[in-house]
Amino acid sequence: MAETTQLELVTPADIMVQKPAEMVVAPGAEGLFGVLPRHAPLLSDLVRGIVEVHENGKVANRFMIDGGLADVSGESVTILTERAEDLDKVSRDDIKSRADAASGAEAEFLNVVLAAL
């Protein structure tokens, strides 16, 4: 079994993900960065984009986040974000109807999610 790092993706409403991952790729303010087990400690601003969770050498999960903060240690990566959507569990129709009903920043974010599907 491959070595893993513990991923936690947290929004104000929910802990969306809590699981081990071989690698996590996040959209940092300076560009994409990958987190592997035993990564050096890092604190990074995140921009709107897709967080990829790698397992068994491939992308297992994708989450659209609306910016935030990543706290990386040798054993874990914690992503704090205002909004996130699990791209593997949402449908275009669901996101479209939610975007039509939303306003402001929420509607803008959901339209970006829709474009990523």
Note if the pTM is more than 0.85: yes
> Whole-angstrom Cα distance, residue 111 to residue 65?
12
pLDDT at 1: 54
pLDDT at 2: 72
Domains defined for the chain, CATH in brackets: 5-86 (2.60.15.10)
Strand-pair partners of 58? 55
Ranges in the chain, pLDDT < 70: 1
> Whole-angstrom Cα distance, residue 1 to residue 101?
45
Per-residue burial over 17-31, b = 16 or more CB atoms within 10 Å of its CB, e = otherwise = beeebbbbbbbeeee
